[in-house]
Amino acid sequence: MLTDLFSHQVLIGLAQAAAAVLLSLGTVALCRYFDVKVARETAVSLVRGLIQMSLVGVLLGVLLKGNLLIGAVILMGMIVAAAVTASRRFKELPYAFEIALYSIGAGGGATILFMLLIKALDANIGVLVPVGSMIIANCMNACAQAMERFKADVVSHAGQVEAALCLGATPAVSVSPYVQTAVYASLLPRLDMLKSLGLVWIPGVMAGMMVSGASPLYAGVYQFVIVAMILVASAISGMGVTALMQRRAFSLAGQLVLRS
């Protein structure tokens, strides 16, 4: 293991990572031209990303021959980490982590289980964890996008919502337009990803399967299955988090409590 850590291939990878970091920081510096100050957040994100991916690589190397139980434990840990990440930008909402965890768990868990049932995934941890992580990551993004859009729309239209309540509308009816836009916002990137599949981008899973000797046609079909499942998982997470946000936006008496 120690020799692997200092192999020629790893050293080359670290040099390439250093070059990527320098270019990323240079791009962030240019963002100051638009008065966008994300240098500190970007630096922290780059360091975290490199350390986390290095640790994941080592961990997967050790657990590559693990069984379904080990894979499930790893995926559950990813779901918790995704919920923490999605809720971090909503510190003013004490329930953000809770609803993110439920939504990401429902979307990611249901989709991964379905893929296992139809044999699109197997218990091999070398396949289960990478594909599962892609699904969970998209659930996380969909969850954060839906939360942000719903919160922003309700807060900016608080007067209209309260006017509807005064006229006798139920809380669900008063925010129904913002529920629709929040769910659509969480789905739009995934819909664009599905539309551009094979035209704008060729995903890494397909390329990896072809390199390993799989049929190009099967690799293309399998990649479509993965992206379709990403859309399903994102839809479940987006609808789930919006429904839970809608319930938490009002008091038991039907008063709007979601404020800026």
Q: If we measure between CA atoms, which residue out of 191, 165, 126, 193 comes closest to residue 249?
A: 165
Q: Rounded to 10 degrees, what is the CA torsion of 205, 209, 212, 215?
A: -170
Q: What is the pLDDT of residues 69-113, one digit of tens each?
A: 888 888 999 999 999 999 998 988 999 999 999 999 999 999 999
Q: Mean pLDDT of all residues in the chain?
A: 87
Q: Note the pLDDT tens digit of each residue in 166-201.
A: 998 999 999 999 999 999 999 999 999 888 887 777
pLDDT for residue 207: 62
The reported pLDDT for the residue numbered 65 is 64
Q: What is the CA radius of gyration of the chain?
A: 21
Lowest-confidence region among 78-87, 145-154, 245-254: 245-254
| Residue at token pair 């390993």 | 212
The DSSP secondary-structure symbol of 120 reads S
User: How many angstroms separate the CA atoms of 257 and 70, rounded?
Assistant: 42
d(CA 179, CA 238): 10
According to DSSP, residue 201 is labeled B
Q: Which residues of 5-22 are buried (b: 16+ CB within 10 A; e: fewer)?
A: eeeeeeeeeeeeeeeebe
Residue 198's φ and ψ, nearest 5 degrees, are 85, -15
> What integer pLDDT is reported at residue 2 of this predicted model?
44
